[in-house]
Amino acid sequence: MVTSSRCRQLMGIVCDHYRQLLQSADDSNASLIIIDELGPVELKAKGWADEIERLINNTSIPLLRVVRTSILKKVLRQWTIGEVMLIDISKDSAENEINTIIDFILK
């Protein structure tokens, strides 16, 4: 059984690792960075907000961002995201849209 303090410790390790990945992402040889997800926490400048902000403003690597439909307009306003491709997974299958996504990113 995992105690709540052990759980917090494990989450801290995971959070630190993810933060390091985000901080070094634009230094990598990646051809795409996927942020799953931009959510209410990041909109409040918490969570991964600082790292995401830095990536959005400083990387030339394409970013694929997962966003809840309910907060999409807020995310678009907060991060002044330019050209957008919207895939609603409640209507579209990501598997069916993968080539469309790749074409959009590579153009």
Give the span between the Cα atoms of 5 and 28, in whole angstroms.
34
Longest dimension (CA), the chain: 50
Give yes or no for residue 106 having a pLDDT over 60.
yes
DSSP-assigned beta bridge partners for residue 85: none
Give the span between the Cα atoms of 25 and 28, in whole angstroms.
5
Give yes or no for residue 69 having a pLDDT over 80.
yes
pLDDT tens column, 13-33: 767 777 777 777 766 677 888
- Show me where the domains of the chain are located: 4-106
Chain centroid, CA 79 distance in Å: 12
